[in-house]
Amino acid sequence: MGRRLLPLVLVLVACSGSQAGVSTTAPPVTVTSTVTTTSVPAPDATLGDTPSASTTTTLAQPVEEILYEHWRGSFQFRDGLRIDVHAPEVRSNHPIAVMVHGGGWFGGRLDSMGHLADGLAAQGFVVFNASYRTLTQGGAFPSMVEDVACAVAYARDHALDFSTTADHLTLIGYSAGAHLASLVAFSPATFGTACEGGDVPVDAFVGLAGSYDTDVYAFLLQPFYGTAFSVDPEPWRAGNPFTYVSDIDPDLEILLIHGDMDEVVPTAMSENLFLAVEQSGASASLHVITAASHTEVNSPRLVSELIAAFVNGDQ
């Protein structure tokens, strides 16, 4: 498959590299945004307070959450991992979303997605902003992917605490988190068996500046796969979402978003995945945001309305 040669600077990883390949042919759709950022007051919710009884273990309130209008609590799911819920105050027929942060597989925090989670809650979503075990926390392949699948299962189990329906669930990933989320979205039966209900397909996948083709990062991801690509390519094949493109559920809705000024992950990553999905017979939408950098693609002012329109069928 084609790859574009661009400098690579991974978030939270002090290294760089380059890739060689060819450019794609299908022109992307250009999207611009004029939505402005607004400040939000402190939440009125108590940690772990949900409308219905729950056996979920709650966590101490993170300081940064006091800035969010729609934050509803921090909870504990698989192996002590944290998941934050952002939701409208009034329970109604809200779409459900699970959000997965970036960080170059080595690090990152769910707090980096907090403003987008709150922005989507303002659009009427119930958002479960999930953590996972990064490499610095002892995670690897496939445990990181299984953590994401377990977050999806948790969201399904607790969606009705915040919404009157759980009929539609969107999995949203950013950067390395988009890679992990795409594996769960494309092949839930492969990665969802670690948690009850984790193998249930999601309804939609949104990838934000995703670093999908991990073969490109052979110089970096030996700790993730536990072996060098040249020694044993099988884990690399199993952890590459392109492996599962031909098996994508035709009902899965796919939106890929990338900035054309992304200095971290080549725009070709999303372009190539878009082409592969289309060639497989499934369907996807690709949006390249004009003059957007890597860190801007998870900004609510740029993408919250775009994601809401996609999920609600308005685009």
Mean pLDDT of 93-100: 98
Question: What amino acid is encoded at 130 in this protein?
Answer: A
pLDDT of residue 67: 76
Residue located via tokens 């108590």: 46
Name the residue among 266, 86, 108 with its Cα closest to residue 173. Answer: 108
- Count how many Cα atoms sit within 13 Å of the Cα of residue 170 in the half-sphere of its side chain: 26
- Count how many Cα atoms sit within 13 Å of the Cα of residue 75 in the half-sphere of its side chain: 26
Q: Residue 231 CB: number of other CB atoms within 10 A?
A: 10
Rounded CA separation 215/2 (Å): 12
Tell me the pLDDT band of 108, cut-offs 50, 70 and 90: very high
Question: CA angle at residue 151 from 12 to 50, to 5 degrees?
Answer: 115
Tell me the pLDDT band of 13, cut-offs 50, 70 and 90: very low
Question: What amino acid is encoded at 246 in this protein?
Answer: S
Average pLDDT over all residues of the chain = 84
Q: CB of 270 within 8 A of CB of 286?
A: yes
| pTM score, whole prediction | 0.82
- Count how many Cα atoms sit within 13 Å of the Cα of residue 250 in the half-sphere of its side chain: 3
Question: What amino acid is encoded at 171 in this protein?
Answer: L
Q: Residue 291 CB: number of other CB atoms within 10 A?
A: 9
pLDDT of residue 189: 96
pLDDT tens, residue by residue, 150-171: 999 999 999 999 999 999 999 9
Q: Is 147 left (phi over 0), alpha (psi -120 to 50) or beta?
A: alpha
pLDDT of residue 60: 54
- Report strand pairing: 253-259 vs 285-289: parallel
Question: What amino acid is encoded at 299 in this protein?
Answer: S
Rounded CA separation 78/65 (Å): 21
**Helical H segments across the chain, by residue range:** 114-122, 143-158, 176-186, 188-191, 222-225, 234-238, 268-280, 300-311
Rounded CA separation 172/255 (Å): 9
Rounded CA separation 206/204 (Å): 7
**Helical H segments across 131-212, by residue range:** 143-158, 176-186, 188-191
Rg value, the chain, Cα: 18
pLDDT of residue 80: 83
